[in-house]
Amino acid sequence: MAHLSDYDIRKQYFATVKKTRRLSPENTEEVREIIIELKDPAFECEIDQSFGVLLDHKDEFGNTLHHRLYSVADLPSKSKNKTRITMLVKRCNYVDAFSGEQQKGIASNYLCDRKVGDEIRITGPYPLPFSVPEDKESNLVLIGMGTGIAPFRAFIKHIYNNVKDWKGRILLFYGAQSGLELLYQNEIDDDLTNYYSEETFKAIHAFSPRPLWHDPVVLEQTIEERAEEIAEMLEVLNTYIYVSGHEKVKEGLDKAFAHVMGSQEKWEVRKAELIAGKKWVELIY
Ligand SMILES: Cc1cc2nc3c(=O)[nH]c(=O)nc-3n(C[C@H](O)[C@H](O)[C@H](O)COP(=O)(O)OP(=O)(O)OC[C@H]3O[C@@H](n4cnc5c(N)ncnc54)[C@H](O)[C@@H]3O)c2cc1C
């Protein structure tokens, strides 16, 4: 993936916050769904894209702008000259490795603090590293942890609402640390359940046994439990594996897929094939 400083930020747009609501429960890490509206017809955004959020911020290196990317998290809604885009934002707070002090992520805190009616500066859109394959027979294994589920939620809605007669199988693995797994799991938010009746779609929740503790996600185990089904999918050439989310999502994936394939060597060969065919693609941040 390109370095952030390589992204062209010359085209800038203003968007108004139309809706902002916390999705994750109060005593867990904050994740918000934020819906913004752009009135500029020049800004056209699709499901396999991200866009930038730009804010004025002076840092210790003399930079005066802070630019961060966010995935399109639902089908963009377009009417006349307006586009509405949904994003899922996790409020990032981290401990500075040098000072040991608690720091606030700049763009994510800025976004999570915005109120309805506030304006934000947008750049892009930019392509995501993966997209919905054109071949409707393609199988998709989508692994989206935390806010990494954002692009896949848009992909699944697009496949079943717009493409329609999708023939391939889709397995979505989702989950997170610290209660985030509750995202889209209640009556209002569980919009992925709309597709559970689709024969080709299965959403599998990688469940932490102690959701409010900082347990590692049990993704590895959850994938291993589905070994037979995934191995069958990996027998055919048009199977794609897309991985999205914070770096931690990658931990244990090779081990899990080695289990699926029956050995480390077999997985190494198959993974190299997938990578060469752009069928193993990661969006890691
Ligand atoms: C293509 C692309 C799409 C993205 N899509 C989304 C999205 O849909 N939703 C979303 O919330 N973020 C997304 N991100 C990440 C986002 O761009 C920012 O990196 C994130 O919001 C932190 O920015 P910040 O300015 O708040 O933090 P900064 O001020 O840049 O501080 C960054 C610090 O926070 C840590 N950090 C960054 N992300 C996380 C995380 N997820 N969990 C824990 N620590 C973290 C970093 O390691 C670093 O220490 C995406 C990134 C890319 C490259």
Same domain as 269, residue 153 = yes
At 176-222, the pLDDT tens digits run 643 444 555 555 566 666 776 677 777 776 655 544 444 445 788 88
In CATH, what number is assigned to the domain containing residue 66?
2.40.30.10
Is residue 132 in a domain?
no
Residue 129 burial by Cβ neighbours in a 10 Å radius (0-12, 13-18, 19+): middle
pLDDT reported for residue 213: 40
pLDDT reported for residue 27: 79
Mean pLDDT of the region 219-240: 93
Is residue 134 in a domain?
no
Q: Which residue, judged by its Cα, is nearest atom 46 of ligand 1?
A: 94
Is residue 65 in a domain?
yes
Is residue 189 in a domain?
yes
Taking the CA of residue 70 as reference, the ligand 1 atom at the shortest distance is 5
Same domain as 98, residue 26 = yes
How far does Cα 285 stand from its chain's mean position?
A: 10
Separation of alpha carbons 66 and 55, rounded Å:
5
> What percent of the chain shows pLDDT beyond 70?
87
Q: Is the pLDDT assigned to residue 93 strictly greater than 70?
A: yes
**Cα of 177 from ligand 1 centre, angstroms:** 15
**Range of lowest pLDDT (19-33, 65-79, 213-227, 261-275):** 213-227
Is residue 154 in a domain?
yes
Joined together, the tokens standing for residue 164 give 């329609």
Under 8 Å CB-to-CB from 140, ≥6 apart: which residues? 133, 155, 168, 169, 170, 171, 239, 240, 241, 242
Number of domains, the chain: 2
The per-residue b/e assignment along 241-276, b for 16 or more CB within 10 angstroms, e otherwise, is bbbbbbeebeebbeebbbbbbeeeeebeebbeebee
Higher-confidence position of 96 and 7: 7
Strands (E), 96-232: 102-104, 119-127, 139-145, 170-175, 201-205
Same domain as 191, residue 91 = no
Same domain as 62, residue 116 = yes
Same domain as 251, residue 148 = yes
Any residues with Cβ below 6 Å from ligand 1, and which?
A: 50, 68-71, 87-90, 92, 94, 105-109, 147, 150, 246, 283, 285
pLDDT reported for residue 26: 83
Q: Per-residue confidence at 258, pLDDT binned at 50, 70, 90?
A: very high
Q: Give the end of a domain, one of 72, 102, 127.
A: 127
Is residue 214 in a domain?
yes
Taking the CA of residue 66 as reference, the ligand 1 atom at the shortest distance is 25
Query: For residue 33, what are the domain limits?
Result: 4-127
Is residue 235 in a domain?
yes
pLDDT reported for residue 80: 83
Q: Give the end of a domain, one of 127, 147, 167.
A: 127
Whole-number average pLDDT of the chain: 87
Same domain as 159, residue 265 = yes
In CATH, what number is assigned to the domain containing residue 214?
3.40.50.80
**Cα of 92 from ligand 1 centre, angstroms:** 7
Same domain as 108, residue 145 = no
Same domain as 159, residue 66 = no
Taking the CA of residue 126 as reference, the ligand 1 atom at the shortest distance is 1
Q: Which residue, judged by its Cα, is nearest atom 27 of ligand 1?
A: 105
**Cα of 5 from ligand 1 centre, angstroms:** 15
Same domain as 92, residue 222 = no
pLDDT reported for residue 102: 87
Same domain as 151, residue 268 = yes
Mean pLDDT of the region 130-154: 92
Taking the CA of residue 69 as reference, the ligand 1 atom at the shortest distance is 17
Same domain as 272, residue 155 = yes
Q: Give the end of a domain, one of 127, 156, 178.
A: 127
